[in-house]
């Protein structure tokens, strides 16, 4: 199935490989291959939009699939309007100008939860490697060297010692068990406030505020969530010792991602 989303605001490198998701790979400047859920896909940036090519046969309604991708790429959010607000601040104005096309993704919650548990005290290449091994060993095979993300029911029974997750293996198992048993209802978090949803996620062993906020931002689209990793803490210390500017209110999550990329680019 081939789908097209009309937008002139999309940078695939910043959006797909900048630490929000870990299952996308660059083919060339405008094309990226990835796996979302149980679908292998290719995304291509075109002048006026995003072309999405889903591998294999798919008898699902085209409009439904298109709506799913529009949600994934957060198409209904007006990024230009938000960037205009951010431009009131000198640092964010520079960041938005140099990082034009950065979007926030809305991913599947369980995959996002496990991915950011794995992300703790880790870098993007290593996170990607652990997730690839997790999917290869425990995920459903979709094609040649292509594997879906494993379900909670599978991970509860998994021996994770061989995938290189280290101490995070216990956290993954606890998260999978709570989701499988209904102790954590990931679907219910959509209807909760960011504070309420954060408290629910932090019931999981090893999930602190930073991991919880990553899940809220990159799976649930709760744009007020503001994950603080080492890069963002550095940006706050250097540029905003007295707190974030008023112009980011309600869009702290997007500001965070711009600051994350901006401070990394200055290294």
> Residue 99, Cα to own-chain centre: how many angstroms?
17
Q: Which of 81, 92, 101, 84 is nearest to 30 (CA)?
A: 101
d(CA 208, CA 201): 8
- The answer to whether 96 and 258 have CB atoms below 8 angstroms apart is yes
Is residue 210 flagged as an active site residue? yes
| CB-count burial class (<10 Å; 0-12, 13-18, 19+) for 106 | buried
- The answer to whether 146 and 182 have CB atoms below 8 angstroms apart is no
- The answer to whether 228 and 236 have CB atoms below 8 angstroms apart is yes
Instruction: Select which of 44, 180, 205, 210 is catalytic.
Output: 210
Q: Looking at the annotation, which residues are catalytic?
A: 210
């Amino acid at each position: 199935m081939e789908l097209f989303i009309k937008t002139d605001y999309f940078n695939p490198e910043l959006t797909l490989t900048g630490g929000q998701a870990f299952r996308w790979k660059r083919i060339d400047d405008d094309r990226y291959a990835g796996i979302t859920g149980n679908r292998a896909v290719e995304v291509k940036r075109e002048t006026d939009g995003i072309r999405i090519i889903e591998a294999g046969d798919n008898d699902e309604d085209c409009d439904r699939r298109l709506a799913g991708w529009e949600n994934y790429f957060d198409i209904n959010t007006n990024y230009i309007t938000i960037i205009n607000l951010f431009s009131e601040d000198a640092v964010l104005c520079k960041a938005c100008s140099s990082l034009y096309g950065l979007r926030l993704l809305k991913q599947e919650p369980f995959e996002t939860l496990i991915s950011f548990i794995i992300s703790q005290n880790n870098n993007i290449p290593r996170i990607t490697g652990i997730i690839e091994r997790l999917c290869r060993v425990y995920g459903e095979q979709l094609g040649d060297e292509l594997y879906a993300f494993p379900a909670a029911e599978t991970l509860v029974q998994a021996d994770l010692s061989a995938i290189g997750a280290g101490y995070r293996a216990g956290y993954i198992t606890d998260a999978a068990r709570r989701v499988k048993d209904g102790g954590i209802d990931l679907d219910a978090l959509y209807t909760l406030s960011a504070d309420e949803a954060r408290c629910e996620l932090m019931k999981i062993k090893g999930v602190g505020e930073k991991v919880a906020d990553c899940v809220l931002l990159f799976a649930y689209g709760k744009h007020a969530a503001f994950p603080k990793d080492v890069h963002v803490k550095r940006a706050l210390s250097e540029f905003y010792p007295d707190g974030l500017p008023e112009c980011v209110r309600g869009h702290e999550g997007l500001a965070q991602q711009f600051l994350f990329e901006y401070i990394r680019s200055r290294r």
